[in-house]
Amino acid sequence: MNLRTGVILTGLAMSLGCSSAPHPLPTDLIETRLAAPVETVKSALTQVLTDGGYDVDWKDDSTVETGYREEMHGPWNWLYRWRFGAIKSSVKASVQAADDRSTSLKLEIQSEGKDGLFTGWEQVHSALPQSADNQLRLLKNALQIL
């Protein structure tokens, strides 16, 4: 094998190794049972999400959906988003009574991000403060559950 063939094969191997279909990100989802009545969990969940910057909208007695969280505040938001990009997240949750003393909770965080003005929104990993694990931790703190 001569040098030219080696360079061509190396270039071909590198280009094939780097080109693949994008892998979907795993869903940021938690399903758990909390040791608290359903109404207490609903009010605590509403408070935690509102404190986190989400607009909470209960679709029915057991399902809540939020709009996108306001990630930044200030007059220069457009410049920051244009230059550095942004991540926006929303929450879907389902709360149902498992029995009179416990509640089933399904909490899903959806996050989208972009790198600048001329790129589109793509699914990204949730930022740590908005992750499902952290939202569950905040909810447990509000319910005073260890």
For every residue of 25-93, DSSP letters joined together read PPPEEEEEEESS-HHHHHHHHHHHHHHTT--EEESSSSEEEE-------STTHHHHHHHH-EEEEEEEE
pLDDT of residue 103: 94
Structural domains of the chain sorted by starting position, each given as residue range(s) with its CATH number in brackets = 22-143 (3.30.530.50)
Q: What would the mean pLDDT of 43-63 be, rounded to a whole number?
A: 93
> Residue 56, class by beta-carbon neighbours within 10 Å (0-12 exposed, 13-18 middle, 19+ buried)?
middle
Q: What would the mean pLDDT of 23-39 be, rounded to a whole number?
A: 86
Per-residue pLDDT band for 72 (boundaries 50, 70, 90) equals low
Whether residue 70 has pLDDT greater than 90:
no
DSSP bridge pairs for 109:
28, 91
Per-residue pLDDT band for 118 (boundaries 50, 70, 90) equals confident
Whether residue 77 has pLDDT greater than 90:
no
**Lowest-pLDDT range of 41-45, 76-80, 142-146:** 76-80
Average pLDDT of the chain is 82
Q: Under DSSP, is residue 1 helix (H, G, I), strand (E, B) or coil?
A: coil
* Nearest alpha-carbon partner for 106 in 96, 116, 117: 96
Q: Measured in whole angstroms, how far is the alpha carbon of residue 90 from the centre of its chain?
A: 7
Q: What would the mean pLDDT of 56-66 be, rounded to a whole number?
A: 93
Q: Who has greater pLDDT, 73 or 137?
A: 137
Whether residue 49 has pLDDT greater than 90:
yes
Whether residue 20 has pLDDT greater than 70:
no
User: For the chain, what percent of residues have pLDDT higher than 90?
Assistant: 45
Whether residue 99 has pLDDT greater than 70:
yes
pLDDT of residue 85: 67
